[in-house]
Structure 1
Amino acid sequence: MADQNDKTPDEPVVNDKRRIDPETGEVRPEPAAPSEDGGTAAVTDPDELIEAEAPDVEVPAGAEAPAGAAEAAAEMAAEGAAGAGVDGAEPLSADDEAILDAASRDLVADMRQDMLRAQAELVNFRRRVERDREANREAVVAEVVRSLLPALDDLALAEKHGDLAEGPMVIVAQKIRGGLDKFGLVQVGEKGEVFDPTMHDALVQLPSADVTVNTVADVIEPGYKIGDRVIRAAKVAVHTPQ
């Protein structure tokens, strides 16, 4: 009786029928099938092999886990540690924050300088456009007035000979001269004024002891200007000092 009580009960026997070896990862050889004469014969057709599902077996305490389970647990632990490292990132140090702050200030300063430079370029562009527009306007007006100068010369000759004293031509002359005056047309070239090569075209030079500088002696053909633009220089005779 004592021998029967001291006898350790039989532990469960587990038959591992898995085709893949969990330790080596290699395919296990096919088990031999029993032959008709009581021996074993190899099964050559996979369809003839029917694998029984392995029963669920409790692993006793203290038993070692399969190598595959240990590797899977290690991978899960590593993934968890990596996720924790991303979520719990360390804050920036004071030096790093100072560098970022300085870089931000420099960027803002550069953008402000670019904005001011762009504004200055826009103002200069508008000024150039206005200046060019005014210059183009004066050029067009000057061209139109230059085409009418022969008519003004005829009116001046007619007036000099007394043909504009009365009659309808007086009104026509007044309208033409009044219209040109609105554009700022001014006659240049008067007898006795100092000779100016930008305003006068000297056709004749007459030495004279009465002058100390070149002086207009007579106006042969009057000149005209609009503002600082000379439409036509006056043709004059000049007294030169002896």
Structure 2
Amino acid sequence: MTGRYDETEGRGPEEPVVVRDRRRIDPQTGEIRPAAPAAEPQDGPKHAAPTEDTVEPVPPAAQTEPEPATHAGPGLGESIVDESVSVASGLEKELAERTADLQRLQAEYANYRKRVDRDREQVVAGAKASVVGDLLPLLDDLERAEQHGDLTGAFKAVGEKLVGSLQRSGLEPFGTEGEPFDPSVHEAVQHSTSPDVTGPTVTMVMRRGYRFGDRVLRAALVGVTDHEPGGATTEPIDQPVGGELPLEGELFDENNR
């Protein structure tokens, strides 16, 4: 007996075979098919045997559509570039400020060191000058003893060592006869004139002066001779006759000639 119905036997026509392609991915294009609405069951056998084209439903996990890759548009890229440029410029500006601060601190420290060294040198020079100033009366006594011939023997050797040590430390005597008069280092206590000099000249030294470095410890006491310009010659006054003195009027006339 066949599965076909014979019309001659009074049976209905044979039911056509319906094949439904339930694959989610189109085998030709490779794209995901949209979900089809559930079809109403048609008349036919409830338990139809699966055919070759029948595909088992895909599990829910496999039905998830892949998310399309997001690509940054031109606006987003430009904003990122602008932000990077602004950050770089800000870093360069901050670096320049820090460099300027460092250079200013270095200059201030260098000036501070120079000022400290200069102050230290001034303090040392002032201390030495104070000690040497206290020894000046002793040097005057040694000079007077030498002028009178009393600086002899061991006393002379000690005096020479003392004077040499002070001169090596920076002590310098000044005030000798014949040098030009300088009011900043000479103290004039005597004045005279002479045609033999061309200007104010030291012709007598009463006390020697001393300087220590660029500091004058004591001015020299000197006598100064200034130049005497040549004046007009005057006629001699007539000598009185017979030992008589001229009258007061005659003397006045003679002086006014």
**Distance between the aligned counterparts of 1:194 and 1:206, measured in 2?**
14
**Distance between the aligned counterparts of 1:170 and 1:137, measured in 2?**
30
Deviation (angstroms), 1:168: 2.4
**Distance between the aligned counterparts of 2:96 and 2:85, measured in 1?**
17
Q: 2:190 aligns with which of 181, 204, 227?
A: 204
**Distance between the aligned counterparts of 2:165 and 2:129, measured in 1?**
13
Deviation (angstroms), 1:120: 1.1
Deviation (angstroms), 1:219: 0.9
TM-score (norm 1): 0.59
Letter in 1 for 2:180: V
TM-score (norm 2): 0.56
Deviation (angstroms), 1:131: 1.0
Aligned pairs, how many?
152
Equivalent in the alignment of 1:232: 218
Listed one character per residue, the Cα deviations across residues 36-88 of structure 1 (whole Å, up to 9, x for unaligned) are xxxxxxxxxxxxxxxxxxxxxxxxxxxxxxxxxxxxxxxxxxxxxxxxxxxxx
**Distance between the aligned counterparts of 2:80 and 2:189, measured in 1?**
89
Residue range with higher mean Cα deviation, 229-238 or 143-152: 229-238
RMSD between aligned alpha carbons?
1.7
Deviation (angstroms), 1:145: 0.6
Equivalent in the alignment of 1:169: 155
**Distance between the aligned counterparts of 2:185 and 2:139, measured in 1?**
18
Equivalent in the alignment of 2:245: none
Equivalent in the alignment of 1:184: 170
Q: 1:153 aligns with which of 140, 147, 156?
A: 140
Equivalent in the alignment of 1:127: 114
Listed one character per residue, the Cα deviations across residues 141-188 of structure 1 (whole Å, up to 9, x for unaligned) are 110011010010001001011111x22211221222122123111111
Q: Does 1:112 align with 2:102?
A: no
Between structure 1 and structure 2, the one with the greater Rg is 2
Instruction: Tell me which protein shows more helix as a share of its residues.
Output: 1
Structure 1: gaps (5+ residues):
1-89
Write the mapping of 1:67-78 to structure 2, written as runs, cut at 5 A: none
Letter in 2 for 1:187: P
Deviation (angstroms), 1:213: 2.2
